[in-house]
Structure 1
Amino acid sequence: MSIPLVYHASYSKLALPSTHRFPTSKYQLLQQYLLNNQIAKPSDFHSPEMIQVEVLKQVHQDKYVDDFIDNKLDLKVMRRIGFPWSEALLNRTLHAVSGTSLCANLAIEHGVSLHLSGGYHHAHYDFGSGFCIFNDLIVAANGMISNGKATKVLIIDCDVHQGDGTATLSSQFDNIISCSFHCLKNFPSRKPHSDHDIEFDKGIDDRHFLHSLEQVVPYLINIHQPDLILYDAGVDIHRDDDLGYLNISTAGILARDKFIFKTAKQANIPIAAVIGGGYSRNEAELTHRHSQLFIAANSIW
């Protein structure tokens, strides 16, 4: 089958200083890599519209949403997010959050879908953090439940950083279950409780990481019986990532993604994946790491 992919050109149209850590070019480079290497074809891509403000306000504080859109957030709040406000940032944000919701809808329809952005798991109810403004995972999960397309959603977050915003927000929704696999001694310093937190010491290798995944994921599916999985496939777990402290190889990332997809497929649960975090000055290396998600999905479907 042809796996539906979600992408919008605004994802990489964000002018930042050359010293900025956020790799804004990676989204466009990833799309081009997938096309150049016949991992995807142009007809696979779906383009999201901007998210509706009312949808954001089902998850986030009204004032926070309005103030971000109108460029009225305090400078301290914007510094915590990590971006200067701009029309390009607003455009990118509203498309990217919508992209994860579109991805979830496509997953319900096709069994699997992948988003070439997403995973803004540090966004809380009334503030953003760590390059995350609105929590696309919670917005998508709540949207699927509100629209009657899912009754329970399991978020599996394998980014190296704990999804603290997802943890605090999911606690407000009975049918959204949060699980975070992350490095203990890493951002954020204060880690609120997810429904399930699996914490790794610095330097953990492929074998130990994959063993934990293989023990926990089937267990979560068994006890929660979700009818949709949202999967944050961050590659900042890689041993050469600029912001990660784990020792996971590229092969380990591929094995992780294959296991998640295989487990979801065997359980007959639709899965929508986002690419999550990944930080490197070497654009080619970072693109290759993110491409493992798409290679893994193609190998299972």
Structure 2
Amino acid sequence: MLPIAFAPSYAHPLPTAHRFPMLKYELLPEQLLYEGTATAADFFVPTPPPDADILRVHDAGYYQRLRLGQLTRQEERVTGFPWSPELFAREITILGGTIECARRALVHGAAFNIAGGTHHAFRDRGEGFCLLNDQAVAAAWLLANGLAKKVLIVDLDVHQGNGTAAIFQHEPRVFTYSVHGARNYPGRKETSDLDQPLPDGTTDAEYLSLLAATLGPLVARVRPDFVFYLAGVDVLATDKLGHLALSRAGCRQRDELVLRLCHAQGLPVVVCMGGGYSAHIADIVEAHANTFRAAAGLWG
């Protein structure tokens, strides 16, 4: 069994531009259940964590303004979302999901958050459809509760995990590794512990060769006892925002490489879905489903 956090859909009306990417959060669970990769018993609906867990990472003033809907118009534009109580509730539920996934990964070896991967959220602000940083909050929760001593965050979304890098810039117990498009968002990159920027048009062979040559030695050097994996599928050639050239098969091989290493090393791993903006929703859902299939073949 692989525990899977499934936050209820965001029901508040969204601008048309935001509705299409949100569909995957509904369609992906349906696909996994239909094909038998997951059963209903694998899914759980998370609950928001205590504020104290969030405030280990996020600035209290920012969190209070976010909770009360007091962001400025400019701040809302930067996040990309119009604020609503429903949006805030969903965001903190996603945080609870990633924390609970971390707890369950310690037991089961791996756990998934259908949402999550909000890596553009900084301590004191949101950016790029990210309001609160779920993997950062969960990593801090593990460390604070003595459940991990060294955390590795493997961020393979096409966009650099700038918020995560900034949050942990002075935290030696968390190692941030980001492979991303060099010319993609954000325009101003932060400094991860290891950044590997890629040129537009990077292919399967180039991407997988770099990852295979890097990740194993990195794990051996960092010696983490817990891994967070951000498995964005915006690396696909079909992605409208990605500018890389991975095939769906190459994206699955990427997932298999990361997950096999975690499995072989006995490293608990939490996987969050991250971005995906292909023109056809089937490309997004199928690529995300491949991540679950790869894990089911190892831990299922």
- TM-score, structure 2 normalization: 0.97
Q: Secondary structure at the match of 2:17?
A: coil
Task: Report if the CA contact (8 A) 2:120-2:128 is conserved.
Answer: yes
Report the equivalent of 2:4: 5
Q: Give the 3 Å change call, closer, same or farther, for CA 206–14 of structure 1 in structure 2.
A: farther
CA-CA distance at 1:87 after TM superposition: 1.5
Q: Secondary structure at the match of 1:178?
A: strand
Task: Report if the CA contact (8 A) 1:96-1:118 is conserved.
Answer: yes
Report the equivalent of 1:273: 271
Deviations 1:178-235 (A, max 9, x none): 0001010100000011000011100000011001111111111111110000000000
Structure 1, 290-299 or 49-58: larger mean CA deviation: 49-58
Q: Secondary structure at the match of 1:143?
A: helix
Counterpart residue identity of residue 225, structure 2: D
Q: Does 1:106 align with 2:101?
A: no
Matching of residues 179-218 of structure 1 within 5 Å: 179-218=177-216
Task: Report if the CA contact (8 A) 1:151-1:227 is conserved.
Answer: yes
> Hey, what's the Cα distance between the residues in 1 that align with 2:27 and 2:40?
14
Q: Give the 3 Å change call, closer, same or farther, for CA 129–224 of structure 1 in structure 2.
A: same
CA-CA distance at 1:21 after TM superposition: 7.0
List gaps (5 residues or longer) in structure 2. none
Task: Report if the CA contact (8 A) 1:69-1:90 is conserved.
Answer: yes
Task: Report if the CA contact (8 A) 1:206-1:252 is conserved.
Answer: yes
Among candidates 198, 218, 221, match of residue 219 of structure 2 = 221
Q: Secondary structure at the match of 2:270?
A: strand
Among candidates 61, 85, 88, match of residue 87 of structure 1 = 85
Among candidates 286, 297, 300, match of residue 299 of structure 1 = 297
Among candidates 162, 166, 169, match of residue 168 of structure 1 = 166
RMSD value over aligned CA atoms? Answer: 1.2
Q: Give the 3 Å change call, closer, same or farther, for CA 280–135 of structure 1 in structure 2.
A: same
Task: Report if the CA contact (8 A) 1:81-1:130 is conserved.
Answer: yes
- TM-score, structure 1 normalization: 0.97
Counterpart residue identity of residue 118, structure 1: G
Deviations 1:70-96 (A, max 9, x none): 001111111100000011101110101
CA-CA distance at 1:280 after TM superposition: 2.8
List gaps (5 residues or longer) in structure 1. none
CA-CA distance at 1:285 after TM superposition: 2.1
Structure 1, 228-237 or 169-178: larger mean CA deviation: 169-178
CA-CA distance at 1:299 after TM superposition: 1.8
Task: Report if the CA contact (8 A) 2:69-2:85 is conserved.
Answer: no
Q: Secondary structure at the match of 2:16?
A: coil
Task: Report if the CA contact (8 A) 1:13-1:24 is conserved.
Answer: no
Q: Secondary structure at the match of 1:192?
A: coil
> Hey, what's the Cα distance between the residues in 2 that align with 1:19 and 1:112?
33
CA-CA distance at 1:58 after TM superposition: 0.9
